[in-house]
Amino acid sequence: MSATASPSPVAVETPLHRLARKFAANRVALGGLIVFAAIALVAIAAPLAAPQNPYDLASLDIMDGSLEPGTPNADGRPYLLGTDEQGRDMLSAILYGLRISIGVGVGSTVLALSIGLAMGLFAAYSGGWRDTLVMRLVDLQLGFPPILIALILLAILGRGVDKVIIALVAVQWAYYARTVRGSALVERRKEYIEAARCLALPYTRIVFGHLMPNCLPPLIVVATMQVAHAIALEATLSFLGVGVPVTEPSLGMLIANGFDFMMSGKYWVSFFPGITLLVTVVSINLVGDHLRDILNPRLQK
Amino acid sequence: MGYVLNRLIQGLTVIAAMAGLVFVGVYAIGNPVDMLISPEADQAEIDATIARLGLDKPLLEQFLNFVSGVLHGDFGTSFIYNEPAVRLILDRFPATLELAVSAVLIAILVGIPLGVIAGLIPDKPAGRSIMAVSILGFSLPTFWVGMMLIMIFSVWLGWLPSTGRGETVELFGIPVSFLTASGLKHLLLPAINLALFKTSLVIRLARAGTREVVGQDYIKFARAKGLPESRVILVHLLKNMMIPVVTVLGLEFGSVVAFAVVTETVFAWPGMGRLLISSIVQLDRPVIVAYLMLTVLLFVIVNFVVDLLYALLDPRVRRKGA
């Protein structure tokens, strides 16, 4: 507006502002972020937003079983997405299922990120045989497809939300460890680390105070994509019957429940949870895809 | 030669490590006795079953039995089918292999042309749409796509069957579906389903490769020489962008086999993946162990072959690895 406010408007733009501006420049990615934020919000607010508590058996009416979408219930309010064979409102079941799916996806990603970050920093900063040991473990694990490792673990551990999270963490940590180690190896040769060493700062302070913050950007991209992967993998495992227990149905389990009904033409029991899952995963992938483009220095012309 | 030996030792180490992990996981944790014996059985029956399965022996003895079994290719007898676990799996292996090979073929035949087009015209609507489809292909959960395929093509349109392998004929003593009309119809939907994810991957690889190769001098030279565009693309471009695609697809073949678990469950395809899932649900440990060990073996062999081919094609790898 005026020259007095700031002599150069570029100089006051913080890196975070720049990131936000670049991100918002892509309408598709911005749309993805808004859609995901909305989905996450209704998932968190499920007890308030859902017309029915799908776990409360008293509120279910078996007479309302397998109704088509839009059929009105006893109070005259329509079941927007139909009901399953027990008379459970699918919209409510989906909202509650989303909580579990997103909770497991985000929770396992945060845990795996922390473990991978610690392992990657440790490997890169220590070097030598410790580095070799960690990276061999990473190589070994990345040599096998995630679904196989998760199936093995769940075959051993049994079903359960906590066990699914353990399996997903075990599958994911290696990606973070490899990414972190890569950027940490570059960063630790830079002057500021050397300066910190010359000041005789403690090991933990150098690693966590100086090295870690500078290794985070590429990790954010990996983490975004991994949330989508984790949600999809959890859904797959639950569909196969080795994931979450019947009492805590995630989207994948809802889809599996509807499989038999689909054959008799009752598509809605698994179609709508599937669409919800798809929209969630696509919106996260759109955000991650664009983040990768703007955070990748090689693509900046 | 040193390189080959090095890789071989690495492969054997992986197999040994997995064998140890699998034993600890499956034999030391979890108790199949409760699952396998009906609640009405009396103590004598329970004891007899435990003794028959060798579950009463010390863990070390169970482990030694396990190791000697692994070395003989014997992973025990299925608790459920009363047949050697390895034979159960090998019986179902051809079905899984047929499905996986079909899926990889579809991924190549569909993915490479689309990827090349997207790489040649990255900013035109067609190029952008192909990439949008590829993002969708990455995001769509395989099992849900399979169900939707069944819903559309089997339930609504009634064009294609949704379960089983259809009629099979023997080819070199192995039953295959793709040589009969009924078998081909049964194979189509599961193969498309399994191919979806890898097709998206091939599109991305082919697009990235094309964009890289298009800028090279030899392509400019071929064009400047006045070669027809079809020849430039089909010979000069395709040949050079295929290297990373073939490498990645080779490495990914094992993951196609692993992911067949999902497709086989949806389409009731009688392969070894479906056997694994039912074995996990029924705690049929010998079958789980045999599946894991055979899959690990398959992975190590595939990775070893790809490594060798890579070293054969690129002398730099050979020197670095030795």
Q: Is B30 an 8 Å CB contact of chain A?
A: yes
Alpha helices in chain A, H assignment, sequence order: 15-25, 27-44, 46-49, 90-126, 128-142, 146-157, 161-187, 191-198, 203-204, 212-240, 251-263, 268-295
Q: Note the pLDDT of residue B66.
A: 72
pLDDT of residue A2: 46
**pLDDT for position B30:** 55
User: Do B299 and A143 count as a contact with CB atoms less than 8 A apart?
Assistant: yes
Instruction: Mark yes or no for CB contact A140/B17 under 8 Å.
Output: yes
Cβ-in-10-Å burial (0-12, 13-18, 19+) of B247 comes to middle
Residue B29 has pLDDT above 60, yes or no: no
> For B141, which of A148, A151, A232 is closest by C-beta distance?
A232
CB contact, 8 Å: B16 with chain A? no
**pLDDT score recorded for residue B321:** 45
In chain A the domains, ranked by start, together with CATH numbers, are: 27-40+91-299 (1.10.3720.10)
Segment B285-309 shows an average pLDDT of 80
User: What is the rounded CA–CA span in Å between residue A91 and residue A46?
Assistant: 10
Distance from C-alpha of A164 to C-alpha of A105, rounded to nearest angstrom: 10
Please report the pLDDT score of residue A139 as a whole number: 81
Positive or negative CA dihedral for B222, B227, B233, B235?
negative
The dihedral over CA atoms of A227, A229, A230, A233, expressed in degrees to the nearest 10, equals 160
Shortest distance, CA B120 to any CA of chain A (angstroms): 18
Q: Is the pLDDT of residue B38 over 60?
A: no
Confidence class of residue B133 from pLDDT cuts 50, 70 and 90? confident
Q: For B70-184, where are the E strands, in sequence order?
A: 169-171, 174-176
- The alpha carbon of residue B268 and the mean position of all alpha carbons in its chain are separated, in whole angstroms, by 17
Nearest CA in chain A to B137: A282
Question: Would the pLDDT of B99 be above 50?
Answer: yes
**Nearest Cα residue in chain B from A140:** B14
**3-state secondary structure (DSSP) of residue A218:** helix
Contact residues on chain B for A228, CB-CB shorter than 8 A:
139
The mean predicted confidence, pLDDT, of chain B is 79
In chain B, residues 169-228 whose CB comes closer than 8 Å to chain A: none
Inter-chain residue contact B144 with A278, CB threshold 8 Å: yes
| pLDDT > 80? residue B193 | yes
- Contact with chain A for residue B10, Cβ under 8 A: no
Query: What is the rounded distance in angstroms from the CA atom of residue B36 to the CA atom of residue A236?
Result: 27
**Do B29 and A156 make contact, defined as CB atoms within 8 angstroms?**
yes
The whole-number pLDDT of residue A111 equals: 94
Task: Work out the average pLDDT over B116-128.
Answer: 83
Q: Do A282 and B262 touch (CB under 8 A)?
A: no
Distance from CA of A69 to the nearest CA of B (A): 17
- Choosing among A144, A227, A234, A251, which should be mutated to test the B contact, i.e. which has the most B CBs within 10 A? A144
The nearest CA of chain B is from the CA of A157 a distance in Å of 8
Closest chain A CA to residue B298: A144
Per-residue pLDDT at A168: 92
Please give the Cα distance from A252 to A240 (Å, whole number): 9
Instruction: Establish if A235 touches chain B: CB-CB under 8 angstroms.
Output: yes
Please list every residue in chain A whose beta carbon sits closer than 8 Å to the beta carbon of residue B260.
none
Each residue's pLDDT tens digit, B249-269? 877 888 888 888 899 988 888
Render pLDDT for A280-294 as a digit per residue (tens, 0 to 9): 988 998 888 888 777
Residue B186 to residue B263: CA distance in whole angstroms: 13
The pTM for the full model equals 0.80
C-alpha dist (Å) from residue A184 to A111, A201, A276: 20, 18, 38
Contact A274 B144 (CB under 8 A): yes
pLDDT at position B180, please? 73
Q: Chain A residue closest to B275 (CA)?
A: A240
Asked casually if ipTM beats, i.e. exceeds, 0.85, the reply is no
CB spacing of A158 vs B30 below 8 angstroms: yes
Q: What is the Cα–Cα distance from A28 to A283, expressed in whole angstroms?
A: 9
Task: Report the pLDDT value the prediction gives residue A115, as an integer from 0 to 100.
Answer: 92
Cross-chain residue pair B143–A152, CB shorter than 8 Å: no
Token output for A52: 């029915």
Closest residue to B136, CB basis, from A154, A263, A282? A282
Q: Which residue has the higher pLDDT, B70 or A116?
A: A116
Nearest CA in chain B to A274: B144
Q: What is the mean predicted confidence (pLDDT) over B55-81?
A: 74
Q: Do A274 and B148 touch (CB under 8 A)?
A: yes
Domains of chain B in sequence order: 85-281 (1.10.3720.10)
Residue B277 — very low, low, confident or very high, per pLDDT cuts 50/70/90?
Answer: confident
Whether chain A has a CB inside 8 Å of the CB on B265: the answer is yes
Task: Tell me the nearest-neighbour CA distance from A150 into chain B, angstroms.
Answer: 11
Question: From the CA of B172, how many Å to the nearest CA of chain A?
Answer: 30
A58 within 8 A of A86, measured Cβ to Cβ: no
* Separation of alpha carbons A171 and A165, rounded Å: 10
| For residue B295, pLDDT beyond 50 | yes
Residue A228 and residue A283: Cα distance in Å, rounded?
9
Check whether B242 has a pLDDT greater than 50: yes
Using an 8 Å CB-CB cutoff, list chain B residues near A154: 280
Smallest CA–CA distance, residue B140 to chain A, in Å, is 6
For A179, A185, A194, A288, the CA distances from A125, given in Å and listed in that order, are 14, 7, 12, 28
Give the model confidence (pLDDT) of B152-189 as tens digits.
888 778 787 777 777 676 767 677 777 677 777 888 88
Beta strands in B135-210 (DSSP E): 169-171, 174-176
pLDDT of B140 reads 82
Q: Tell me the average pLDDT across B48-74.
A: 73
Provide the chain B residues 86-125 that lie in CB contact (below 8 A) with chain A.
none
| Orientation angle between helical segments A161-187 and A212-240, nearest 10 degrees | 150
Interchain pair B26, A262: CB under 8 A: no
Q: How far away is chain B from the Cα of A241, in angstroms, using its nearest Cα?
A: 8
Q: How many contacts, defined by CB atoms under 8 Å, are there between A and B?
A: 103
| pLDDT of the residue at A109 | 92
Answer yes or no: do B262 and A147 touch at CB < 8 A.
yes
Of A140, A240, A270, the CB nearest to B147: A270
Mutate to test the interface with B, among A141, A166, A240 (most CBs of B within 10 A): A240
Residue A23 contacts B where some CB pair is shorter than 8 Å: no
Spell out, as residue ranges, where chain A has pLDDT lower than 50: 1-3, 5-6, 301
